[in-house]
Amino acid sequence: MTEKPPLDSNEDETWLGEGQSQTQLTTVCGPDGVETCDADRPAWDSKIQYVLAQVGFSVGLGNVWRFPYLCHQNGGGAFMLLYVFLLLIVGVPLFFMELAAGQSIRQGSIGVWKHISPKLAGIGYSSCMVCFYVALYYNVIIAWSLFYMGNSFQYPLPWQRCPIDVTTNDTVKECAGSSPTSYFWFRKALDITNSIDETGEFNPIMTGCLLAAWAIVSLAMIKGIKSSAKVMYFSSVFPYVVLFIFLIRGLMLDGAIDGITYMFYPKLEIWGNVQVWRQAATQVFFALGLGYGSVIAYSSYNPVHNNCHRDALMVSGINFMTSVLASLVVFVVLGFRAKNIALRCVAENLGLLSLMSSHESNQHLVGPGWPGINMTDPSSVSIAEYREWYSHHSSMVGPNITDCSLEQEMNKGIEGTGLAFIAFTEVMALFPASPFWSTLFFLMLLNLGLSTMFGTMQGILTPLMDNFNLLGRHRTLLTVSSCALGFLIGLLFTQRSGNYFVTMFDDYSATLPLVIVVIFETISVAWVYGTDRFLDDIEVMLKWRPPVVYKYLWKYVCLLAMVGLLAASLLRMVFKRPTYTAWNQTTASEMTLEYPGWALAMIVLLIVVASLPVPIGYIHFTLKNHVVRDTRSEEGRCQEVHRELYNKCSSTEQLDSNFQHRVPSEEEEAHPRTAFLPMGNEHYRLLPQQEVEDDDDDEQDTVV
C-alpha cells in the first residue's frame, strides 16, 4: 500500500526500536517467501454476495437462543444498552481490523499474521484449530435440526402428547413426570444417559443425520466460495423471512405484550455486576465471529479498494438488529407460553378449590361474598384476580393450592437447545397447522447453522490452501477430506452421552483460545506493526483516512478489554468448578452435576491444544532466526578470511612471477607452499572505479 523502505531479502523480520515490524502489508508472500500473484485468486461475484456471506457467518444460532437469554437474565433493556456500548468501543474496531488486514494482504488467517509478524504466525494456526472445534459440534446441532424437521411432517406432531406404555397401558412415567416436549427431546431424539460418565451406544438415527449434515456442507463448499456463495443467497436471507413471519404471528398471541414488556423493562442496577459485563463482552466477541479467521478469509476475496470500514459498520449493525428481532420473537413466544402455563395453573387450582368448597368449613373462601372468583366458570377468572385472592387467603388453604405468577414463569430463563427444542416446540404444538410452523422453524435453524458453518469451514480451508501449495492445488480433495474427518470425530457427539460433550465443547473449547487469539492479533497490529502505519495503509486502500480514535481503541481499549475478559473467564473457571446440566431418567428432571476428573482434563487439553500454536510459532521463529544469524556470521567470517587469502595470494603471485626461474632451495623443497582452492565470484574484491579505469588505460597502451 504505502511505500516503505524495502527489507533485506535475507531478513525474515526487522524489529524497530519501538517494537514495530518493518513488514509491508502490500507485499504478499507465498509459503516460500516469494512474492505471489493474486490474478488467479477467487473473488466475489458481487458486493451483495460478500455482505450476505459475512452476515450469514456472524448471524448464527447464538443470535436466536443466546442473546435473548442474556437479555432475559441481565436486566432486559439495560443489558441491550451495555451490549451496544461494548459493540461500539470493542466489537466494531476489532471487526474492522480483521476486515482491513484480510483485504489488504489477501491471505487467510495464517498468511495474514505470518506476513505482519513471522513470530506470531501461530495465531493463524490457533484460529484454524478453534474453527475445527466449533465445526465439530456445530454440525451436530444442524443434525438435530434435520431430525426435528423430518419429524415435523406429521400430524399431530410427535412431541404434542405423551406416548402410552404398551405393557401397563398407561402414560410413560418419564413423560408424565416432565412434559411431552422434554420427553421427546431427551428420550426420543437423544436417548440420553444420566451423566457424562455413562457413554452408551451410538444413536443410529442421529449418526445418519450427522452424515447428512456433513454431506450438505461438503457439497456446498466443494468449489470454494463460488459454490457456497450461491447457497448463501438462500441460507442468509431465509431466516429473516421466517423471523418476520413468526413475529407477526406471535404478536397476535395472548401474552405477547407481556413478553415484550418484560424484555425491554430496564434494570440499571445490573451495570454494577462484573459478571454481566463479562457476559456482554463475550456475546459481542462471539456474535461478530472475531478470532475465527473466517472474517479474514471472506474479506481476502474482496477487491483491494473495497470500503471495508463501511462493511464493518454495516455487518455489525445488521448483526445487532438481528439479535433484537430474534429477541422480540423469542419473548413474544415465551410470553404466550408463560401465560398459558399460568392460566392452566389457575384452572387446576380452582378445580381443587371447587372440591374443597364442597366442605362447609371452606365455603367462606370462595363464597359469593368474595368478588372476582367465579367457581361456576373458572376460565373467566384472570391471573391478576386469582393472585389477589391468593395473597389474602394463601395461609388458609392447603399446600396443594399454589400461586400462579406470569412473572415467575418468565423468570425461568431458557437458552440454547432448551429454547429451540423444548420451549419453541411446545408453543408450536399449540398453533393451528402446527406441522407447517414446526417445519418453518427448524428449516430456519438449519439455514442459520449452515451459513455459519460455511464461514467456519472457510476459516479452516482458506489459510491451509494459501500457505500450502499442494493443498491449494487439490481444493476438492481437501474439502471432502476435512468433512470426512469432521464426521468421524463427530461420532463422539452421536453416542447417548453426546449432548454432554456438545455442552463441553460449546462452553470451553472456543472461549479462552479465541480470546487469546484476538489479544495477539491486537498486539500484532497495534504494537508490532504499528497503528499509525496500519492506518496509513488503510488510507491508501480506502482513499481516505479512518478516524484517529481507532488508534487508541486498538492500542489500549480493545487490548485491555480482551485481557480483562480473559482474566475474568480464567478466574471463573478456577473458583467455580465447571458443571453441566444432566437429565435424570428416574426423576424425569434436569440436575446440575460437576464434571469428573477425566472430563476436566479433557477441557484443559482442548484449551491448551488450541492455544499452543501461538507460543510454539514464536519459539520456532526465534530458534530458526538464531540459527540463521549464526550461519550468516560464520559465512561472513569465512568471506573475510577468503578476501585476506586472495589479497595475499595475488601479491605472492606478483612476486613469484619475478622469480619464476629461481631454483628452489632445499628448505623450500622440504616444505612446499600450500595451494589455494578456487573461489567463487562472490569472494572477489571489487576494485574502486579509478583503479578499473587505470587498468583499462594500461590495456589500451599495451595494445598500442
User: Average pLDDT over the chain, rounded to whole?
Assistant: 78
CA atoms within 13 A on the CB side of 260: 15
The string of pLDDT tens digits covering residues 80-138 is 889 999 999 999 999 999 999 999 888 888 888 888 888 888 998 999 999 999 999 99
pTM over 0.85: no
User: Are 457 and 132 within 8 A, CB to CB?
Assistant: no
Dihedral, CA of residue 39, residue 299, residue 453 and residue 37, to nearest 10: 20
Question: How do 164-165 and 170-171 pair as beta strands?
Answer: antiparallel
Q: Among 446, 386, 398, 424, which Cα is nearest to 147's?
A: 446
CB 324 within 8 A of CB 68: no
Q: What is the pLDDT of residues 44-54, one digit of tens each?
A: 878 888 888 88
In eight-state DSSP terms, residue 509 is I
| pLDDT 10s digits, 636-670 | 666 665 555 555 445 444 444 444 444 444 444 43
- Report, as an integer, the average pLDDT of 239-266: 85
At residue 165 the predicted structure's pLDDT band, cuts being 50, 70 and 90, is: confident
- Specify the residue for cell string 438462500: 234
> How confident is the model at residue 490, as a pLDDT?
93
Beta strands in 253-362 (DSSP E): none
Q: What is the mean pLDDT of residues 293-317?
A: 90
Q: 174-187: b or e for each residue (b if 16 or more CB lie within 10 Å)?
A: bbebbbbbbbbbbb
Residue 405's pLDDT is what? 73
Using pLDDT thresholds of 50, 70 and 90, give the confidence band for residue 226: low
Per-residue pLDDT of 451-501, as tens digits, reads 899 889 988 998 888 888 888 788 889 999 999 999 999 999 999 999 999
pLDDT value, residue 76: 76
What gap in Å lies between CA 243 and CA 252, rounded to an integer?
Answer: 15
**Tens-digit pLDDT profile for residues 498-545:** 999 999 998 888 888 889 999 999 999 999 889 999 999 999 988 899
pLDDT tens track for 540-578: 988 899 999 999 999 999 999 999 989 988 888 888 888
Q: Average pLDDT in the 663-685 region?
A: 39
Instruction: Say what the pLDDT of residue 550 is.
Output: 93
Q: How far apart are CA 690 and CA 684, in angstroms?
A: 17
- Please tell me the predicted confidence (pLDDT) of residue 396: 66
DSSP label at residue 160: S
